[in-house]
Amino acid sequence: MINSAYTPPLDLIRRPRRNRQTPAIRALVREVRLHADDLIQPIFVKEGPGGAEPVGSMPGIERVGLKGLFAEVAQLSALGVRAVALFPQIDPALKDARGKYAISEKNWFFGLVRRLKGEFPDVLIVADVALDPYTDHGHDGVIDPVSGDVANDETVHVLTHYATRLAEAGADIVAPSDMMDGRIGAIRDELDREGFTQTSILAYAVKFASAYYGPFRDAIGSAKSPQAPALDKRTYQLDPANIREALMEARLDEDQGADILMVKPAGLYLDVISAVRSATTLPVAAYQVSGEYAQIQAAARAGWLDLEKARDEALLAIKRAGADIILTYFAKAVAESLKKG
């Protein structure tokens, strides 16, 4: 008969639970931590000083004019988030098939970058380099009239000028997100030729043709028009099935002069982040995209997940996979939590 009053201890040398017994010991042995310095807050911007407009598919996220942008960046800076990524929403009346407004001297986005840098010289400005905010078809480049596909080299030519204009306006980092072949080298060459040798390039080196970009396209207004054919970016964005191809793209961008390599999306591609981290000595960034953010928010609002715990676990996983830098719409909220301790 078993004596339930006494259970002899097991003969164990290793008891891993000893390092989990209290909050203090768990903190002491924690291997991965999130810091505000790790985070970049993406911000959707619109023309003029007007009021904020909520993005319906992204709870808590707004499009802001200049006044709202200044207020947001001031709050982020006070919380320790010292880098923002800017994405413009362009009036449909200014769009065309070639995205010509992107490099127009009248493009208000250049003035906004210039004023933001003047107001917050110590905040890093990451400027998106892509044509989808400017094209009426929503693709990331100029369409070849014969093939109907995005014309690679012509698009690269436009992107190089756009990146240089952003550098002139004060962007610290230009971030080509288009996935055209050869654009990193072309942009690096033009930036250097024009005297912007200290402007960094954050390459969207590994950007997959993901189903998780929908809320972002709503936010910047690059979703297809009702008259346009369905957007299919699989001729330039990566097949989600391919990791060897992803590593090749990362290697090409590094060879062409990228300063930081990014994987996008993040949470679904932790294996890719880890593989890129192992293959390069450059800093590795990862973008927790709009669909990932919306998923967590929706589940939390339905009462199925604890918002803060799910948010932090997702970001820790991205950091643990090897990302040095994380672009996340949760950056401000996480920094607020870290500030509170």
User: What is the per-residue pLDDT for 231?
Assistant: 74
> CB atoms < 10 A from the CB of 142, how many?
23
Task: Provide mean pLDDT across the span 130-149.
Answer: 92
Single out the residue of 249, 239, 218, 246 nearest to residue 132, CA to CA.
Answer: 218
Note the pLDDT of residue 3: 60
Residue 169 · residue 110 · CB < 8 Å: yes
User: How far, in Å, CA of 27 to CA of 19, rounded?
Assistant: 9
| pLDDT at 1 exceeding the cut of 80 | no
Tokens of 200: 């960094």
Residue range 5-32: mean pLDDT, rounded: 95
Domain positions in the chain: 33-340
Give the residue from 127, 132, 131, 102 showing the smallest Cα distance to 116.
Answer: 127
**Which residue matches tokens 């990524």?**
85
Are 335 and 76 within 8 A, CB to CB? Answer: yes
Cite the active site residues. 207, 264
CATH topology for 33-340 is TIM Barrel (3.20.20)
Q: Residues 40-71: pLDDT tens digits?
A: 999 999 998 878 999 999 999 999 999 999 99
pLDDT at 5: 78
